[in-house]
Amino acid sequence: MNLFIRAARIVDATSAHDGQAVDLLIENGLIRQIGTDLSAPDGIRIIEGDNLHVSAGWLDMRVLAQDPGFEHKEDLTSVCRAAAAGGFTDIALLPNTQPVIDAKGALGYVQRMSDGLDARVHVLAAVTKGAAGVDFTDMIDLHHAGAVAFSDGTHSLQNPDLLLKTLQYLQPIGGLLINQPEEATLTRYGQMHEGIQSTLLGMKGIPALAEEIAVERDLRLLAYVLEDSEESTGDRPSALHFSTLSSARSVELIRQAKAQGLPVSCDVAVHQLVFTDTDLAGFDTNLKVNPPFRSAADVDALWAGLADGTIDAIVSDHTPQDAESKNLEFDLAEFGIIGLETVFAALMTHNRALPLSLLIDRLTTRPRQILRLPATHIAEGEPATLTLFDPTQSWTYAKTRSKSHNSPFLGQTLTGRVLGTVVGGHFTVK
């Protein structure tokens, strides 16, 4: 589809047109012309708006699609529709399906079934068979088959020897290990953040210490692997990525590790920037997540980590759960929130004066760098991979394109609206 985007303000630090309001002519999937007061060709579809902004296409590094195995909660078609509605041209899928994505056959299924959908799919393959934390997968084989990184996804790697050997195994191919930091022996039967609120509500707590111990352990293992390597400092890509940080101490540990030159990166789930443990007073199971919402001081530290560059990426941590998994007593309900459609709106509604350009960077440039994916640029002759949005427009999140409805934002009026995406020559309008 050919498009003419009129008077759109570019948000792309890598573009010569950054900050400018320009017209873009897109033909056959390429940006053919950028300029001011361009003439739209006859019959072409025109996209315009009072406060139209355009950036490189957004990438979500942490999405659970539930396909294959749990398609009643989400399938690849519905998750890509939700992604496009949320402004994402690309998503990285966790391996926690049934079967787990731990072999080329399972990887190939996702690649085939996602071809031509509303968002491009990148696959994180499992580190261990069945994501069970015991036996290694053939990561080299999976790497050559197209896996962009390796992770046991929702299952944290508990065995330090296994994590150490994974880092060593991936080092020659420049592979990336993604781990959700959690010491499981400290979180068993936990329901929410351990603190005054969990005591008041009478629920078993999940201490921030469980995350912080895992972060510190993994950083020391990474340093051990690299201590004799000439590549242990400098601008080499991240070798270890921490997913869904929630604790102030975790942010500080990674800040120190980066200052020491360790090739490490991290992300935060957008809902961790919005809610605290006090929001669970009503026992809303849509607010039951792992890691749990923590204290206001932790939320402050997460925003500060975004501001100073310690936190590299913002993710949805999209985890679809059906009604049977959520309409239960709080301690019986499953963890997880759907979030693909509300990442940008949650950021803008609750933004703490961070520049728009910084937030867009955490959704575009940095995630692509971390996953070793090709950069996208808003320049003439480049493929058109774009997200269109209005950062000030209010809208009501009345329905979802996901098969599941476990979102605390449903029914809320939010600020910051996605208007559409352009990817692979296809325009998807919200």
Over residues 329-381, the pLDDT tens digits come to 999 999 999 999 999 999 999 999 999 999 999 999 999 999 999 999 999 99
Pick from 290, 160, 268, 279: which is nearest to 222 by CA? 160
- How many Cα atoms within 13 Å fall on the side-chain side of residue 271? 26
Q: End-to-end alpha-carbon separation of the chain, Å?
A: 16
Q: What is the DSSP string of 244-270?
A: S---HHHHHHHHHHHHTT--EEEEEEG
Pick the closest to residue 264 from 176, 164, 181, 180 (CA basis). 176
Could you tell me if 39 and 133 lie in one domain?
no
Q: What is the pLDDT of residue 430?
A: 66
Q: What is the pLDDT of residues 43-66, one digit of tens each?
A: 999 999 999 999 999 999 999 999
CA atoms lying within 13 Å on the CB side of residue 194: 13
Do 300 and 420 lie in one domain? The reply is: no
DSSP symbol at 364:
T
Quote the pLDDT of residue 232: 44
The yes-or-no verdict on residue 5 having pLDDT over 60 is yes
Does residue 398 lie within any of the structural domains?
A: no
Query: Are residue 21 and residue 147 in the same domain, yes or no?
Result: no
Same domain, 33 and 91: no
Query: What does the pLDDT read at residue 245?
Result: 98
Q: Nearest 5°: CA angle at 140, between 159 and 148?
A: 85
Q: Is 379 helix (H, G, I), strand (E, B) or coil?
A: coil
Looking at the structure, tell me whether residues 101 and 27 fall in a common domain: no
CA distance 64 to 83: 12
Is 279 catalytic? The answer is no
pLDDT at residue 429 in the model: 75
Three-point CA angle 419, 344, 411, nearest 5°: 85
Q: Give the domain extent around 174.
A: 56-370
Same domain, 34 and 116: no
Q: Per residue in 260-292, pLDDT tens?
A: 999 999 999 999 999 999 999 999 999 999 999
Tens of pLDDT, residue by residue over 371-409, are 999 999 999 999 999 999 999 999 999 999 999 999 999
Strand 313-315 and strand 386-396: pairing? unpaired
Query: Cis peptide leading into 68, omega within 30 of 0?
Result: yes
Which of these is catalytic: 12, 60, 75, 317? 317
pTM tops 0.75 = yes
Span 179-189, pLDDT tens digits: 999 999 999 99
* Number of structural domains the chain divides into: 2
* Residues 82 and 166 placed together within one structural domain of the fold: yes
Same domain, 138 and 75: yes
Which amino acid makes up residue 264?
Answer: V
Mean of per-residue pLDDT scores for the chain: 96
- Retrieve residue 56's tokens: 């490189």
